[in-house]
Chains A and B, each alone.
Chain A
Amino acid sequence: MYLAEFTLKNFRSCRDTTVTFQRGLTLIVGENNSGKSNIIDALRLSTPPLSGRPTRYFEADDDPSFGSRDDVELTARFAGLSHYQEGQYMALVDAEDGCLYYTSRYRVEADLSQRERRVPLVGRAKAVDSEPELRARVNHVYLAPLRDAQRELDSARGSRLSHIIKYLISDDDRDDFLAKAKDGFEKLADHPVVTNTRNDIHRHVDNLTTPVRPQRVGLGFELVRLERLTRGLRLKMAEHGLEPADIADSGLGYANLVFMASVILELEHAPDSELTLFLVEEPEAHLHPQLQAVLLDYLREKAEQSTRPDDAEPARRIQVIATTHSPNLASAVGTTNIVALRTKRELAPVPAPVNGAKVASVKANEPAMRATTVALALADVGLKPDERRKIDQYLDVTRSELLFTSRVTLVEGIAEAVLLPALAKHCVLVPKLRGDETEEQREKEKQAAKAAWGRYRASSIINVGSVDFAPYVKLLLWSAGDGIRLVDRLAAITDRDPVLPEIIEEREAKRTKAGKDGAERAKEPKPADRKADLEAIAASLDASGILRVAEAPHTLEADLLTPAGNEPVLRKAYLKQHPLSEAKWEEKIEGDDPARALYLALYRDEKLISKGEFAHDLAGLIKDGYPFICPEYLADAIRFV
């Protein structure tokens, strides 16, 4: 069995949030304050800790209901029960869908004790639990974000090592170890340290007691117990070839890994556990980026390995649920295993009167707003397998922040990626001054432009590196139904790459030359209309309003020529690459329509311009203050985002 779905009602930022999970590993990604910790906290409240010692209790501020006094309700749906589990949970399993539903309802009335507050319920009907003893068989282990792993590994009280050792050794080994320890202690009992101390104490006691009734003083070791002996053990590690040192000296990153390994070890031996949710908050907190991916692979592997037949022993399955705001980790696991959190702003409920108190008047003009968490399980996005693979591969290589920002501009290549910020800052999001403003208006305009630039800067430019935007648009604009998507604004900048008559002619000529005739001479393929295709995708996702497809009439470099006055700067950039080719440049842009001319030239000679270099040089020139006008289609996309 595994946790398939978790619904949080009225819990902190989650008014009614449903998160779906993968069997093995689910990574919850989102910005700060998007609700990641709330989901983990709610899972900690919903399931008992494996250790039996709760670390999270319901608190008054877990109720965000703005005084509506609705109960907090956390419902977990477990699916994929084995036959054995269905039998074990037969009094509780839903007779129709075969799932197990556990609800923890928290009543928010102020005067209740922790015990009274929590109402454990089962089933879709939320009924009283007839076999509550089974509840602890689904449990969790929680790893906090900033954990002092070293202290937890070594602390004498409840040391993890001594805790784990008992799972790992046979009874015979234990007895042998204890017998040897006993021998050792007996030998030590004759050591001067012991005998001298004893004799000295005895001398004093003797003086005191002999007049009354003589006493004898003995000194020995207390009964040897495994936990006591193993408490003294300390993990040591070092890089290969070096003398192992205290783990504290090996850097916190490794201490964390050792700690997690020890938890996994404990999980594997937990008695009577059907499922353990391994809740890891921000594993990146203490880990080097390379170790982050290693850790994730390890966790995922453990989760996979934990699926085994459960006829003879408990399933002891491990399901990993981790949160992160590291694009690094997110990119490494692939979209299927990611749940992205987004925030939805909605009207706050009107507070219900408490014990006849007056209802606080809500000003009609300022409805109270509140943010609630929406979870987007990317496994549910309608992507074809090859589309998903494409995105996953892209993420894995680029570690891009695709999944982390709410305003995105998709571009085809490095040229757009390099040029856009420069154009935005120096050409588009600049104060609009006509010259007759007052100083105050001027200042205001400047501030507005600065703010606009700040917002643009916070958005992401994603270089897809190809013209196939469709999978990305599908992913970013997908919504689970309530209109919340990965992005709020999406611009896609693409080239029309028109198939001009000259191009058709040249292709025909090429084919004729190759000797293909008649039937074999395929018809000129219908030119792709990328803009229309992307807009159709947006329309099908009911997201037309948040997608802007900005299409270059020809191609970026050519269309930069369109606004009058840009030519000198472009020429300068071109000459930086080809200092001796001024004549060639003039030849290529000759005519009534220099953009069209350059487009054809670029079609015919791909090496005419090194697009990346050209963009870098041009951006440099713009930054240096050379006058340049942004083509309208790009300016529009920048403003939209």
Chain B
Amino acid sequence: MAPPPNGLIYSPDQLALIEKPGSRMVRACPGAGKTQSIVERFIRRPGLEGDRLGVALISFTNAAITAVHERCQDYPQLLRAPNFVGTIDGFINRYIVGPIYTARRGHPPSFRDTWETTPGRVYTSTVKAGLRLRLAWFSFAADGEATLVRRRIPGELRPQTMSAVKDVMDGITAEARYKWRSLTRAGFVDCEYARHLMTGYLVDPVLAGRLQRRFAHRFGEVIIDEFQDSNDGDVALIRFLEASGISVVMVGDVDQEIYGFRQTAPGETGALAGLVEAGEPLDGNYRSTPAICKVVDSLRYGDSADTPCGPYKDEPRPVYVLKITGPAGAAKKITALAAREGFAAEQIVVLSHGGSDARRYAGAGKPLGSATTTIERLAQATAIIRDGNGKPQDRARAMALFESILRESAGGFADLHDNDFFEACRITQRQFRAGALRLAWRVSPYEATPQEFRDAIKSGIAELGWDKRFPDIAKKLRVTKDQKWKHIPAAGNPDALAYSTVHGYKGLQSPAVALVIPKARDGGIQEGVSNWDCGARHETRRVLYVGASRAEQLLVLVVHDSQHAAVTTILTRDGVLYEEA
């Protein structure tokens, strides 16, 4: 067993979570040391000592997974079978959908996070001339019934796309459904479809009985991190595991539930709440200063309060409110304020609900925009893969995109599912990935012309000895006449701050956080302010709650002029120690 990390002393509540055997649901406030505690529980296996069963640690965020990996570095066997550490999608695919689908179809499913990395992901609609659509913009029911999801369309394409589809919606959803059907028939399975398949398997009594027996002999406990983010499929799975006799430990914070678009309804996590015994809540905040804890209390629905008890529990620093009229100059002001408080620019992260807001307020210039041609998309993916500072999940996504573009150029094999594709190409998945990585590292896309980039990829493929496998690569990477990149990222501003969406920063923390509350628009974060004001329970308010609770020592609320009065009124009302910057 791994010894506890140096110098860490657990509180009685944390110890209860770490050591008490059996099922429980534990509510944890931000900064409560939840991740540390469940990782410790994962290692100690309370109630399963000497047992041969595994423990699964399932998370919705990568933060917990990274933490387990770091903690178990010297004990790699803890990360191997019979244990499992990974996302809920990985869990479902590996243990439920993968085996059953494979036995029934005679080949394993080709799992994809989204339809964005499958053949035919971008297509010109036959319903209306000139309309370019992406399969990933739709949500599909179990029978393929399609719904166009506005939010999934990138901002700059959204208005024109929405107006173009307005009067032909039936046609484009029918078309999307047809495409979805041919992909699923060919063996591709995205996360959404995997849930549909799982739901179908779990209601088949024979299959479900067999699965339950197998689960019971594989896992003694399943630890679910951030349980509030489960959607209806996840809830069904958790109930199924519990019914298999596996102890289910759920940890989370219903106020951090900010994935409404994953079809979660609060009622469902509420339903989960009755499933197992409630454990002692973790309401000691080890992360933040008292003033930050107070804002977090204020943002939280209801009237529970966190106790600051970490290293900054005695810091008297107030929360700062920075009134601004737009993104121009905001980054400079934030940097200056932080410097005055003793924080370097590298310690600051700018967070906002919308990704483009965060980027602009951090002074990082215009967003990348979404590329429309294949060569532009490949160039973007290449740039992300080569960016050493990028987030691992972004790079993984870019890698998947890179590979899928490469596969589209594989002549007659392009539409094959993974197993057949790799067999036809006489190459393993690992070799394919290694080769794709080497291609990505051949040339930095935006330091070359599109023509040069294309030639580098082409000659790289020849060097790998893959030219017979991917004959269509030159055809796929068509270069426009003017020989220019359309979506070249603006030259990075060296003074720009780190930035992220609140969703992307979930599970993480930073010494200094600047939380952007921009100008009032339709929908979005300003609704959060009004919901905050009137004490309503709403996702936009929870986004603010999650954002503010990322801060350890310094929280700057970067508030647009139009929202300023409302915000300061609430802060005063709730007795938060704040200061105007």
Q: Name A residues whose Cβ lies closer than 8 Å to a Cβ of B.
A: 83-88, 90-96, 107, 109, 116, 119, 123-128, 130-131, 133-134, 310-314
Contacts and interface: CB of A to CB of B under 8 A. Distances in A.
B182 interface: no
B213 A125 contact: no
Contacts of B94: 91, 130-131
B419 interface: yes
A128 B429 CA distance: 8
A86 B213 contact: yes
B81 A131 contact: yes
Contacts of B429: 128
A184 B431 CA distance: 58
A83 B428 CA distance: 32
Interface string B161-205: 000000000000000000000000000000000000000000000
B419 A90 contact: no
Contacts of A124: 103, 106
B475 interface: no
Contacts of B210: 95
A92 B99 CA distance: 7
A128 B53 CA distance: 24
A130 B98 contact: yes
A127 B102 contact: yes
Interface in B119-175: none
Contacts of B215: 87, 90
* Interface residue SS majority, chain A: loop
B216 interface: yes
Given A91-B94, A91-B95, A92-B99, A84 B52 contact: yes
B150 to A, nearest CB: 36
B214 interface: yes
A68 to B, nearest CB: 14
A116 B465 CA distance: 15
A313 B213 contact: no
A123 B95 CA distance: 14
A153 B526 CA distance: 79
A210 to B, nearest CB: 47
B95 A95 contact: no
A128 B431 CA distance: 13
B interface residue count range (under 10 / 10 to 19 / 20 to 34 / 35 or more): 20 to 34
B52 A312 contact: yes
B108 interface: yes
B473 interface: no
B41 to A, nearest CB: 21
Contacts of B52: 84, 310-314
Contact of A88 (B108, B218, B431): B218
Interface in B210-226: 210-211, 213-219
Contacts of A131: 80-81, 94
Given A127-B102, A127-B108, A83 B95 contact: no
Interface in B405-428: 419, 426, 428
Given A133-B80, A311-B52, A123 B217 contact: no
Contact of A127 (B100, B216, B419): B419
Interface string B61-85: 0000000000000000000111000
Given A116-B431, A313-B52, A107 B426 contact: yes
B99 A95 contact: yes
A271 to B, nearest CB: 11
List the 10 closest pairs (A to B, CB-CB), nearest first: A87-B217, A95-B103, A87-B218, A127-B108, A133-B80, A90-B214, A96-B103, A131-B81, A95-B100, A95-B99
B426 A128 contact: no
A83 B212 CA distance: 11
A83 B108 contact: no
B216 A93 contact: no
A639 to B, nearest CB: 52
B213 A83 contact: yes
Contact of A90 (B50, B108, B218): B218
A88 B98 CA distance: 15
Given A125-B106, A312-B52, A88 B428 contact: no
Nearest to A119: B428
A314 to B, nearest CB: 7
Nearest to A91: B94
Contacts of A83: 213-214, 217
A246 to B, nearest CB: 41
A83 B431 CA distance: 36
Contacts of B216: 87
B81 A86 contact: no
B107 interface: yes
Contacts of A95: 99-100, 102-104, 207, 210
A313 B217 CA distance: 13
B99 A128 contact: no
Nearest to A87: B217
A39 B435 CA distance: 35
Given A90-B218, A131-B81, 6 more contacts: A87-B216, A88-B81, A90-B217, A94-B99, A95-B102, A123-B108
